[in-house]
Structure 1
Amino acid sequence: MPAEENVSNSFLLDQINSEVVSLLTPVIIYLSVLMFFGLIGNMLVLFYYGRQTKRSRHAIFICTLAFIDLASCALSIPANFLDIRFYYTYTNIPLCKVLCFVNYLTTTGSAFTIFAIAVDRFRRICRPLKQQWGLKQCKLLCGSSFLLALIYSWPVLIFYTSVEEDLKASNGKIVKGHDCRNITARNYKTYYKVFNFLYLITFIICYGVIVVVYSRVGKSLYRHKRNLQNFRMSSKKRCMKRTALDKTQTPRYDNSDVKNDATCEGKAQTNDMKETEDGLNTVSFKYTLIMLVIAAVYLISLLPFFIIVILNAFLKMKDSAQGGALVAYKIGERSQYLPCAANAIIYGFLNAQFRKYYRSELLLCNRCKVSNDNLLSSSDTTVTTKL
C-alpha cells in the first residue's frame, strides 16, 4: 500500500509539473529567442571589437559587456530552462545553488559595468579638460565591476536551495513538490531580508546615477551637435560670400572659383576633424550615442523586474499568480535578459563600420562558395567528357 501511494503521489506531481511547464511555453519561447540572438550577436561583437579594432577604452568596455551578455545567454538562460522544466520537481540542491549564483552574478556584473561606462562617458563629455582614464584604468574598472558583482552575489549560494512545497492535485490530494527558490527557514529570514534590502538599495542608487549622468551627457551631445550645425552653416555662408566677392573682383575666368570652393570644403572638413572645443570628436560621439542607447534599453528592461520584486515582497505574487498572470509574472521576472540580445543589435545598427565589416565578410564567403561550385562543376564536366 505505501508503494502504491508513492507511485500515485509521483504521478500526481508529474501531472502538476507538466501543466505548469505547458502553461509557461511562451516564457520558454521568449527566452529561446533572446538566447539565439544573444549568442550569435555577442560572439560577433567580441570578434570584431576584440580582433578587428585597435585597443581602446571603447573596445575594452564593449568587450566586457558583450562577454557578460554572452555568459548570460550561455549559462543563465539555460538555467531558467531547467527551472521551468523542473518547476515543482527541482531536487538537485547543488545545481540550484550554482545556477542561481551565476544568474545573480551576470545580472549584477552587467549593471556595474554599465555604471562604470556611464561614469567614463560623463568624464569624457562633461569634464573633457580633466585627466581621462587610460587603458589600464579601464581594465581595472572592469575587473572591479566583476569583483564587486562577486561580493554581492556569493550569499546566493547560502540563501537558495531546493525548498519543499505542499501542492494540491486535481483530485484534492496534497503532494510534496520541490522548487528552486530562497530558503524559508526562520533563522535565515532576517539575513535574506538584509541581503534583498542591500541589493535593492544598490540597484536604485545605480539606476538613479545612470539616469542623471546620461541626462547630462545627452544634453551635452545635443548642445554640441546644435553648435556644430550652426558653425557649419556660418562657415558655408562666409565661404559663399567670399567666393561671390572674388567673382565680382575677377573680370576674366580662371580656375580660382574651383580653388575657392575647394578651400572652403577643406576648411570645413578641417574644422569638423578638430571639434576640440567641446572635447568631443566623431568617434567619441558615436560611441557615446551607442552607450546611451544601451543604458536606456537596460534601464527600461529592469523596470518590470524591479516592480515585480517590490510587489512580490509585499503581496507574495509568486504564490498567488495563476494562468496568464503567472506567464506575465515569469516574463517580467526575466526582463533583465532583454539587453543580452538587444545590445548586439544596437552595436550593429549604430556602428556603420561593424555592419560594413560583416557585410564584406558575407560577400567574400558567397564569392568563395560560388567559385568552388563553379570549380566542381567544371571538373565534373571534364571527367564526363573524358569518359
Structure 2
Amino acid sequence: MTNILSHNITQMMDVNFTKKLTDEDKFQIYIDDVFGKVYIPSYIFIILMLVLGCFGNTTVIYVFYSKWHKTTYRVFIIALAILDLVNVLVTVPSELYLMQNAFKFSNEVFCKVSRFCTFTLNISSAFTLISIAGDRYFRVCRPLQKQLSVKKAKIIVLVGIIIAIVFAWPVLLMYGTRSIVVQVAPQIFVPGHICMINDAFKYTAYSLVFSAITLIVMFSSDCILIILYSLIVVNIRRRVVFSLKTSRIKTQTDKKQRDKAAVESKVQSDLLKSLGTPTDVELKGYPQEKTNVIGMMDATAYDKSESSENCTKSNSREIISNSSQNEKIQSERVHKVTLMLFLVTVIFILSFLPLYVIVFIRIVQPNHYNNLTFEGKATYSFFQRSFIINMCANPVLYGFLSKKFRMECGNVLKRLWNYFQNKNVFGT
C-alpha cells in the first residue's frame, strides 16, 4: 500500500513538473539534446584539431625559420603554417562557441568577424598553394628559365592575402544572425537564431551569387592545382624514362669500349712478344750501351707522357662524374620536395570537398538539413567542418616525408623535456 502511494505521489510530481516547464525550458532541453546527439562527435574532433594545429604549426614555423636555408620553398611553407595557425586560433574556437550556443546565437558582430577571418584565411591558403604549384612547375619543367626569388615569393604571399580580403569583404555585410523557428515538441515551435547569412540577404540574389562565385573560385583553384601538378608529373615521368634509356645506352657503350680495349691490349701484348724486349733491339749506328740508354730514356718519356695523359683524363672523368652526381642529388631533392607539396595540395582539396557538396546542397535544397535524422545531422555537421583537417595535417605530412624535419622536431621535444625537468614541472 505504501509503495503504491509513493508511486502515485512521484507520478503527480512529475506531471506537475512537466506542466511547469515553459517553452524556453523545453527549448533548452532540446538544445542540450541536439548538442549530445549531433554536435558531440564534431566537438571532440575540433578540440583534437585545435591541440594538433597549435603545436604542429608552431613547430613548423620554428623549425623552418631557424633551421632551413632561405629559399622560396621555405617562404611558402612558413606562410602556410602561419595562415593555418591563425586559422586554428580563430576558426576552431569560433566553431566550438557556435556549437555550444546552437539556435540561441545573438552576437552578430562575432559572427561577421569570425566568418570573414575564416573566408580570408582559407582563400589566402588556396592562393599560396597555387603559388607553390607555379614555383614547382617552373623549377621542374622550366629549370633553365629565371626562377622565382625569395623576395618575390614574399610579395606573392602578401598579394594573395590582399586578394583574399577583397574577395571576402561581402561576408561582413551578408553574414550575421538569421532567425529560425525550432520545433521542440509536436505542437511547440520556438524562435531561435544561428550564425549564417542574415535575414536581410537570406535567399536573395546577392547571397546566391556570392555562394556560387565562392564555389566557382574554389573549384577553379583546384583545377589550376591539378593541371599544374599533372604537367609536373608528366615531366618527371619523361625524365625518368629518358634517364633509364640513357643509362641503358651508356651501359652498352661502356661494354663495347671495354671489349675493344681488351682486344687492343691483347694485340699489343702479342706484338711485343713477337718483337722482344726493347734491350734486344739495336738501333742502327749506335753501340749496344747507347741503344740501351736511349731505349730507357724513350721508355721513361713515354711513361711520363702516358701518365700525364691518364691523369688528365682521370681528372676530367672525376669532374664530370661529380657534376653528374650533384645534378642527380639536386634533381632528387627537387622531386621529393615537389611530392611533399603535391600531397599538401591533395589534402587541401580533399578536406574542402565535403564542404563544397554541402554548400551546393544548401543552394539547391535550402531545407535539406531540417529533414535529416539526428544521425544524418551529426554526419552533416562533421563534414561541414572537415576543412579544419587542412589546418592541422601539414605538420604531420612533413614529419612523414622529411627526415630533416623529423630530426629537428625530435630536438625540439628533447629541449622541452629538459626544460620541464629542470623546472621540476613533473614533480620528479
TM-score norm. by structure 2 comes to 0.75
Q: Match for residue 128 of structure 1?
A: 143
1:70 and 2:120 matched: no
Give distance in 2, aligned partners of 1:233 and 1:325. 58
Q: Is the 8 A contact 1:89 1:179 kept in 2?
A: yes
Give distance in 2, aligned partners of 1:58 and 1:246. 48
Residue 43 of structure 1, CA deviation = 0.9
Q: Is the 8 A contact 2:179 2:199 kept in 1?
A: no
Give distance in 2, aligned partners of 1:210 and 1:9. 52
* Percent of paired sites with the same residue: 21
Q: Match for residue 356 of structure 1?
A: 407
Residue 170 of structure 1, CA deviation = 2.4
Secondary structure of residue in 2 paired with 1:271? helix
> Which of 29, 32, 46 is the equivalent residue of 1:18?
32
Residue 297 of structure 1, CA deviation = 1.4
Q: Which consecutive unaligned segments of at least 5 residues does structure 2 have? A: 1-18, 270-310
Residue 148 of structure 1, CA deviation = 0.9
Secondary structure of residue in 1 paired with 2:204? helix
Over 3 Å counting, the alpha-carbon distance change for 1:363 and 1:263 in structure 2 is farther
Over 3 Å counting, the alpha-carbon distance change for 1:95 and 1:263 in structure 2 is same
Q: Is the 8 A contact 1:107 1:336 kept in 2?
A: no
Secondary structure of residue in 2 paired with 1:66? helix
Give distance in 2, aligned partners of 1:85 and 1:92. 13
> Which of 146, 151, 156 is the equivalent residue of 2:166?
151
Secondary structure of residue in 1 paired with 2:226? helix
Secondary structure of residue in 2 paired with 1:178? strand
CA RMSD of aligned residues (A): 3.5
Secondary structure of residue in 2 paired with 1:335? coil
Over 3 Å counting, the alpha-carbon distance change for 1:361 and 1:334 in structure 2 is closer
Post-superposition Cα deviations, 1:305-337, rounded to whole Å, max 9, x if no partner, equal 111111221012233333111111112211222
Q: Match for residue 184 of structure 1?
A: 199
Q: Is the 8 A contact 2:208 2:363 kept in 1?
A: no
Post-superposition Cα deviations, 1:261-284, rounded to whole Å, max 9, x if no partner, equal 9998986553131249xxx63332
1:107 and 2:107 matched: no
1:84 and 2:106 matched: no
Over 3 Å counting, the alpha-carbon distance change for 1:118 and 1:184 in structure 2 is same
Over 3 Å counting, the alpha-carbon distance change for 1:200 and 1:369 in structure 2 is closer
1:42 and 2:61 matched: no
Give distance in 2, aligned partners of 1:152 and 1:12. 42
Aligned length: 361
Give distance in 1, aligned partners of 2:332 and 2:245. 17
Matches within 5 A, 1:1-387: 8-23=22-37, 24-170=39-185, 172-185=187-200, 189-229=204-244, 231=246, 268=321, 270-275=323-328, 281-316=331-366, 317-362=368-413
Q: Is the 8 A contact 2:211 2:359 kept in 1?
A: no
Q: Is the 8 A contact 1:236 1:264 kept in 2?
A: no
Secondary structure of residue in 2 paired with 1:165? strand
Residue 33 of structure 1, CA deviation = 2.1
Over 3 Å counting, the alpha-carbon distance change for 1:369 and 1:230 in structure 2 is farther
Q: Is the 8 A contact 2:177 2:199 kept in 1?
A: no
Q: Which consecutive unaligned segments of at least 5 residues does structure 1 have? A: 252-258, 378-387
Residue 47 of structure 1, CA deviation = 0.6
Post-superposition Cα deviations, 1:185-217, rounded to whole Å, max 9, x if no partner, equal 268822212211221221121111111111111
Relative to structure 2, which stretch is displaced further, 143-152 or 281-290?
Answer: 281-290
Give distance in 2, aligned partners of 1:272 and 1:21. 61
Residue 165 of structure 1, CA deviation = 1.4
Give distance in 2, aligned partners of 1:239 and 1:359. 46
Q: Is the 8 A contact 1:232 1:268 kept in 2?
A: no
Residue 70 of structure 1, CA deviation = 1.0
Post-superposition Cα deviations, 1:351-377, rounded to whole Å, max 9, x if no partner, equal 11111222344456668889999xxx9
Q: Is the 8 A contact 2:201 2:207 kept in 1?
A: no
User: What letter corresponds to residue 136 of structure 2 in structure 1?
Assistant: R
User: What letter corresponds to residue 40 of structure 1 in structure 2?
Assistant: F
TM-score norm. by structure 1 comes to 0.82
